[in-house]
Amino acid sequence: MNTRPTDRLAIAVAQLNPIVGDIAGNADKARRARAAAARDGADLVAFPELFLSGYPPEDLVLKPAFQAACRAAIETLARETGDGGPALLIGTPWVEEGKPYNAYCMLDRGAISAVRLKVNLPNYGVFDERRVFAPGSPPGPVSFRGVRIGLPVCEDIWTEWGDYEDVVETLTESGAELLIVPNGSPYSRDKDEVRQNIVVARVTESGVPLIYVNQVGGQDELVFDGASFGLHADRTLGFQLAAFREVVTTLRWQRVGNAWRCVEGPIVPVEEGDRADYCACMLGLRDYVNKNGFSGVVLGLSGGIDSALATTLATDALGADRVHCVMLPYRFTSSRSIEDAANVAKVLARSGLRVVLIDADTHAGSCTGIERSALSTNEAPSNTSSSWPPTWLT
């Protein structure tokens, strides 16, 4: 029996921070996002590119055990959608005929209802997807509640950036009414403007509104800033999510005439310039420490501008209780350097920062407010010293 296509869709954008290789943890995070979206009345929850495996998974996708674990997790998540709650759009490595693909799967009503494979694989800068993935064929849209939704994956909309297939044109000619694009797009200054220009071009060419879902979080040397957004067919901004923060937000879309519009969604200002750079540094440092299981960081506090900035950044990113500073002045160290280091320590000590000073000859009394050890610069550290090593290093 034919069902009349819906005129309203509640689409939750899950702008989240996966961990590469943590399939079980990422799947649990997807479950929590789905539960939150269900409470908000969502019909569909869209996750970023390769969310299940974490992005970029690199050579993990070539390991049969990893491929099998991703497939098992996707099938389990699919079965769970049989509870009548929201459907999922989630990225995962996917193997067909022995070839690994970068896939975006629709999980709905207890099954994997559709799989779309990334066509254009980037092979420049930090990307080397052609080495680990096979390219998919240009896809058609999927049908969800009678609505034809195109699912180009990240680089599939960056037509100007390579000798690429025009995936959006294929989807438009196949009747797509709405585009949902999962991304793993790393941060650089003014990158949000670059993305919006790309999306404006695709919307102008296709006449179809587009939802841009981006990952957030740090992964080794990469930082993903999120800042997911959507444009209407007339290129006006439908919604804008925050940058550098995880968020699950349900957007209300409605068919107005022959086009879909976001009738309820936030427009959040995103950080720009130096502030954005600082936020990216904080996020990258925080995730590098947390995802590698480190308890904190140790920094040398010299009194110079560079160490002051590094200490402040680490304190903002991790909290003062996880930042430990050491100063080792020598007889040639100027008193001004020690005073400057002391001032930095005093300011940040209000939030709990701890600094250990290894006393240097005549400078022992000039560092008021900094915790001191009795160690002289002419002595080697001794395990029998009551003040060495500091308790936070043991």
CA atoms within 13 A on the CB side of 104: 29
Q: Name which of 37, 47, 23, 77 is nearest 183 in CA terms.
A: 47
Indicate which residue of 70, 105, 118, 291 is catalytic.
118
Residue 227, token pair as written in the block: 């800042």
Q: Cis peptide before 18, with omega less than 30 degrees from 0? A: no
φ, ψ at 15 (rounded to 5°):
-85, 90
Q: Which residues pair with 213 in a beta bridge?
A: 182
Contacts within 8 Å (CB) and 24+ apart, 269-277: 269/240, 270/192, 270/227, 270/240, 270/242, 270/243, 271/243, 271/244, 272/190, 273/189, 276/187, 276/189, 276/225, 276/243, 276/244, 277/189
Q: Are strands 229-231 and 237-240 parallel, antiparallel or unpaired?
A: antiparallel
Indicate which residue of 49, 129, 155, 177 is catalytic.
49
Is 118 catalytic? The answer is yes
φ, ψ at 135 (rounded to 5°):
-75, 140
Give the C-alpha separation, 149 to 43, whole Å.
14
Length of the chain: 394
Is 154 catalytic? The answer is yes
Task: Count Cβ atoms below 10 Å from residue 63 Cβ, excluding itself.
Answer: 13
Indicate which residue of 70, 105, 154, 367 is catalytic.
154
Name the residues annotated as catalytic. Answer: 49, 118, 154
